[in-house]
Amino acid sequence: MRRFQKLDRLQSFMAGLTIDGAPDVHPVMVVSSGDATKHLAGGATGQQILIAYPEDSQSGGSDGYTDRISTAVFVLEKDREAAKTKESEAAQYRQLLELADMVVDKVARAINEPVAVSGARLVCPPLSGLELESVDIVPELSLFGGWNGYSIELIFR
């Protein structure tokens, strides 16, 4: 097994992520907050999913090591400043939380559920060998130049 094979599989999966309940939302991979701001300022509208390229921290020697892989997912929508009320803000966060739930559910299923290929033949889940250790979700206000929503840290081992 290549040393960074799990990292590579997670990165490929996240880059190709599609959300069944949100066909108009196309996740974008980003490297930094500047990269995220540039993407969002470039005419992005509606709900957005930004995914930080995963990073891997390994411990142990060449004969045996353990991975701790993490990535951050940002589920965002432009701040509705002009017509914002407490009710509209709560509705915006509720909708974004639903989208965040769809993202985390899709990742969890990719770890545990076999995939059907060419009829009834099943293959290993795309993220087999990874275990979702923790999910931390934090509400965000005015992130990346005026975007609201949630940041979600996913940690795998």
pLDDT digit string, tens, across residues 15-72? 999 999 999 999 999 999 999 999 999 999 999 999 999 999 988 877 777 889 999 9
CATH 3.30.70 assigned to 5-156: yes
**pLDDT tens-digit readout, 119-131:** 677 788 899 989 9
Per-residue model confidence (pLDDT) at position 22: 94
- Residue 112, φ and ψ in degrees, nearest 5: -110, -25
Could you tell me what percent of the chain has a pLDDT over 90? Answer: 75
* pLDDT at residue number 64: 77
For the entire predicted model, the pTM comes to: 0.91
Among 3-7, 11-15, 39-43, the range scoring the smallest mean pLDDT is 3-7
pLDDT higher at 4 or 50: 50
Q: Provide the pLDDT confidence category of residue 84 given band limits of 50, 70 and 90.
A: confident
**Tokens 């995914």 -> residue:** 51
Query: Average pLDDT for residues 120-144, to the nearest whole number?
Result: 91
Residue 44, Cβ neighbours under 10 Å: how many? 17
Concatenated DSSP letters for the chain? --TTHHHHHHHHHHHT---TT-TT---EEESSHHHHHHHHHTT--S-EEEEEPPEEEEEE-SS-EEEEEEEEEEEEEE---TT--HHHHHHHHHHHHHHHHHHHHHHHHHHH--EEETTTEEE--TTTT--EEEEEEEEEEEETTTEEEEEEEEEE-
